A = this chain, B = another copy of it.
Amino acid sequence: MSDAALPPFGPGRHLLSVSQFDRPGLDALFALAETVTPIAERRSVCTVLDGAVLCSLFFEPSTRTRLSFESAFLRLGGEVTTTTGFTFSSMAKGESIADTSRVVSGYTDVLVVRHPDEGSVAEFAQASLVPVLNAGDGAGEHPSQALLDTYTLRKELGLRGKGIDGCTIAIIGDLRFGRTVHSLMKLLSIFSHVTFRLFAPPSLELPEYIATFVRERGHTVVHCGSAVEAVSGADVVYATRVQRERMTEELPPSLRGSLLDRAMLVEAGSTDIVIMHPLPRDSRADSYDLAADVDDLPGLSIFHQTDNGIPVRMALFLTTLGVSSEAVTMTLRQRPWDARLR
């Protein structure tokens, strides 16, 4: 969490970490995301990025993240080239990250890069001629996920007459290896007086330095003994998948079953809580994850998160490419097609 040196995100800037956002920066990004929502929702068509080329370079697979970035760019009128999988051929032949970056950045206008190794995307950005957006670098950051989570959180709380300032968020599941949780807590720390109610299975607890980081910024961290205890009184629950292969201890018998299900929410008196999850959700019979029996509760927001990924990523592209919301509006058009099911 020592990337204080990174400049604020803006025109002509790489997106490497959530630390590049302060409150005004976040407000500007979210305002732009609101502006492009009619395009994201297919109510109108935009060609502002006509002629721009995105290259998405995924050195490890992440289909949903890739499709979300690519769809966002295409909705703005841009074009996409893509590379996926572990076998990026040149690097297999010993090419340095710097050489790969310099070459590919000469082909395109913006790069979305996913890499299994922490710090690799920043290294990639250093040699690039054009802006690089970090789509996840191993144990490092996944800033667009934290941004769309925060955007969703603000929207869902707003619908309930609340804001992020002063809210209570239960965060449950894998708090140790869950990169998503770390980036989210870091980003939420720019708001005021958030209460985090945490619950993690044994050996998957939140690293102490993150609790310290948010406490130093005036927030409250409460460690809870169960998912029911964590969600009690919270406005939101953010659940993350437990990857069993990452646990050093056996899951204790008391934790068999779901990480969170409808019965637990009933027990906690929280059936109207905002329910979030970064997805994918493990739906196999023996998974320790968010159960599908919560899917018809009114606060279910897990698909609002993925839906919101489109306008948030559109806003990221527009910001780094220096396109104003006025320029977007000037190219809006009606569309003669209709994708709604009947």
Task: Report whether A107 and B310 are in contact in the complex, using a CB–CB cutoff of 8 Å.
Answer: yes
Q: Is A279 located at the chain interface by the 8 A CB criterion?
A: yes
Which of A91, A107, A307 has most B Cβ within 10 Å?
A107
Which of A87, A335, A339 has most B Cβ within 10 Å?
A339
Residue-wise, chain A 306-342 has the 8 Å CB interface mask toward B (1 for contact) of 1101100000000001110001000001011111111
Q: Among residues 279 to 316 in chain A, which have CB atoms less than 8 Å away from a CB atom of chain B?
A: 279-284, 287, 289, 292, 303, 306-307, 309-310
Q: Is A37 located at the chain interface by the 8 A CB criterion?
A: no
Residue-wise, chain A 55-67 has the 8 Å CB interface mask toward B (1 for contact) of 1000001111011
Taking a contact as CB atoms closer than 8 A, the residue among B83, B99, B129, B339 that contacts A52 in the complex is B339
Report the separation of the CA atoms of residues A306 and B105 in the bound assembly, to the nearest whole angstrom.
Answer: 10
Report the separation of the CA atoms of residues A310 and B283 in the bound assembly, to the nearest whole angstrom.
Answer: 38
The interface on chain A, measured as residues whose beta carbon lies within 8 A of the other chain's beta carbons, has a size of 85
A-side binding surface: helix, strand, loop or mixed?
A: loop
Of A28-36, A68-76, A200-208, the one contacting chain B is A68-76
Report the separation of the CA atoms of residues A307 and B292 in the bound assembly, to the nearest whole angstrom.
Answer: 44
Contacts of A327 in B (CB 8 A): 336
Report the separation of the CA atoms of residues A79 and B49 in the bound assembly, to the nearest whole angstrom.
Answer: 13
Q: Is A163 located at the chain interface by the 8 A CB criterion?
A: no
Contacts of A307 in B (CB 8 A): 106
Contacts of A340 in B (CB 8 A): 12, 130
Contacts A81-B74, A89-B62 known; A95 to B131 CB distance under 8 Å?
no
Task: Report whether B109 and A42 are in contact in the complex, using a CB–CB cutoff of 8 Å.
Answer: yes
Report the separation of the CA atoms of residues A337 and B338 in the bound assembly, to the nearest whole angstrom.
Answer: 28
Contacts of A71 in B (CB 8 A): 53, 55, 81, 107-108
Task: Report whether B110 and A339 are in contact in the complex, using a CB–CB cutoff of 8 Å.
Answer: yes
Taking a contact as CB atoms closer than 8 A, the residue among B50, B68, B309 that contacts A45 in the complex is B50
For residue A286, which residue of chain B has the nearest CB? B94
Contacts A131-B341, A340-B12, A342-B13 known; A63 to B47 CB distance under 8 Å?
no
Contacts of A88 in B (CB 8 A): 63
Q: Is A212 located at the chain interface by the 8 A CB criterion?
A: no
Report the separation of the CA atoms of residues A102 and B64 in the bound assembly, to the nearest whole angstrom.
Answer: 11
What are 15 A-B residue pairs whose CB atoms fall within 8 Å in the complex? A46-B51, A47-B50, A47-B51, A48-B336, A53-B74, A68-B107, A79-B80, A80-B81, A90-B280, A93-B280, A94-B282, A95-B279, A99-B283, A102-B306, A107-B310
- Residues of chain A whose beta carbon lies under 8 Å from any beta carbon of chain B: 10-14, 39, 42, 45-53, 55, 61-64, 66-68, 70-71, 74-75, 77, 79-83, 87-91, 93-96, 99-100, 102-104, 106-110, 128-131, 241, 279-284, 287, 289, 292, 303, 306-307, 309-310, 321-323, 327, 333, 335-342
The 8 closest A-B pairs by CB, nearest first: A45-B51, A12-B342, A94-B282, A95-B280, A109-B339, A90-B280, A96-B283, A321-B337
